[in-house]
């Protein structure tokens, strides 16, 4: 286990060291102490690493992640796992705005709540929020799956493409072109798999699926005010 204390070492030096690691270090874990809400911790990784951040992290923690498994034992700020390609990011607290923004793959799990625009422009990532999310969740979500075990704020799924959203609790309002959809067998199965894989013993029948009505795929002058 490698230990890095961010009271003694800069985030820039930490990230540089992680980027320079040769292939074959997958079995070596990294523990990051005293993150103190610093920004950009463990960004741009492209190795099969196991990283544990002991405490709260600031903006863009584990951004642009590829192949690494990152766990944060506290809260995170804006843009956790932003543009993630693969691997996993586990947040054991709450997340700020734009969690998982533009992420193309991998898994993001948030044990607490996520603020506004969780999953904005998601492009293939799986996002599981055990608490609630703020307004405009999955805004312009193109692909991937979002599971919310709590409630969702206003304008859920605004301008949604083909991302699928599952919410157990209430939804304040739906965004443009987002509608309730039938829970078919394939959706029940994929939701069960996402829940069980993350240790959640939830009743799938209590969730509602939301998706795109597909009216905004092509420009129509009658819909101009909705764009």
Q: What is the pTM of this model?
A: 0.94
Please provide residue 75's backbone torsions phi and psi, each rounded to the nearest 5 degrees. -90, 160
Which has the closest alpha carbon to 121: 102, 137, 147?
102
Distance CA 122, CA 131 (A): 19
| Predicted confidence (pLDDT) per residue in 146-168, tens digit | 999 999 999 999 999 999 999 99
pLDDT tens profile 162-208: 999 999 999 999 999 999 999 999 999 999 999 998 989 999 999 99
pLDDT at 66: 96
Q: What is the pLDDT of residue 11?
A: 98
Convert 121-149 to b/e letters by CB count within 10 Å (16 or more is b): bbbbbbbbbbbbbbbbbbbbbbebbbbbb
Query: Side-chain half-sphere of 26: how many Cα atoms within 13 Å?
Result: 8
Cα–Cα distance for residue pair 158/150, rounded to 1 Å:
19
What is the b/e burial string over 163-179, where b = at least 16 CB atoms within 10 angstroms of the residue's CB? bbbbbbeebeebbbbbe
**pLDDT above 80 (res 227):** no
Q: Where are the alpha helices (DSSP H) in the chain?
A: 11-19, 185-197
Query: Which residues are CB-neighbours of 88 under 8 A, at least 6 positions away?
Result: 69, 70, 106, 107, 108, 109
Sign of torsion over alpha carbons 161, 195, 133, 115? negative
Sequence-distant (6+) residues with CB within 8 A of 9 are none
Taking residues 8-26, report their average pLDDT. Answer: 89
The CATH number, out of the four listed (2.60.40.1180, 3.30.1360.120, 2.60.120.370, 2.160.20.60), of the domain defined by the range 2-226: 2.160.20.60
pLDDT of 63 > 90? The answer is: yes
At 28 the pLDDT is: 76
Q: Cα(first)–Cα(last) distance of the chain, in Å? A: 50
| Spans of all domains in the chain | 2-226
pLDDT bucket at 216, cuts 50 / 70 / 90: confident
């Amino acid at each position: 286990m490698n230990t890095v204390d961010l009271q003694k070492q800069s985030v820039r030096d930490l990230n540089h060291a992680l980027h320079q690691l040769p292939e074959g270090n997958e079995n070596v874990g990294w523990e990051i102490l005293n993150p103190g809400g610093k920004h950009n911790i463990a960004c741009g990784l492209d190795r099969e690493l196991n990283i544990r951040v002991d405490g709260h992290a600031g903006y863009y923690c584990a951004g642009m992640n590829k192949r690494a498994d990152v766990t944060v034992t506290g809260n995170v700020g804006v843009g956790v796992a932003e543009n993630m390609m693969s691997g996993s990011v586990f947040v054991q607290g709450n997340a700020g705005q734009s969690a998982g923004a533009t992420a193309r793959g991998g898994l993001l799990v948030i044990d607490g709540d996520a603020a506004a625009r969780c999953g904005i422009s998601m492009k293939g990532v799986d996002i599981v929020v055990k608490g609630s999310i703020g307004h405009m969740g999955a805004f312009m979500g193109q692909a991937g799956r979002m599971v919310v075990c709590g409630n969702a704020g206003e304008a859920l799924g605004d301008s949604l493409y083909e991302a699928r959203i599952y919410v157990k609790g209430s939804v304040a309002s739906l965004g443009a072109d987002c509608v309730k959809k039938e829970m078919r067998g394939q959706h029940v199965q994929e939701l069960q798999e996402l829940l069980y894989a993350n240790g959640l013993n939830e009743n799938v029948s209590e969730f509602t699926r939301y998706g795109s009505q597909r009216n905004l795929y092509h420009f129509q002058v009658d819909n101009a005010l909705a764009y």
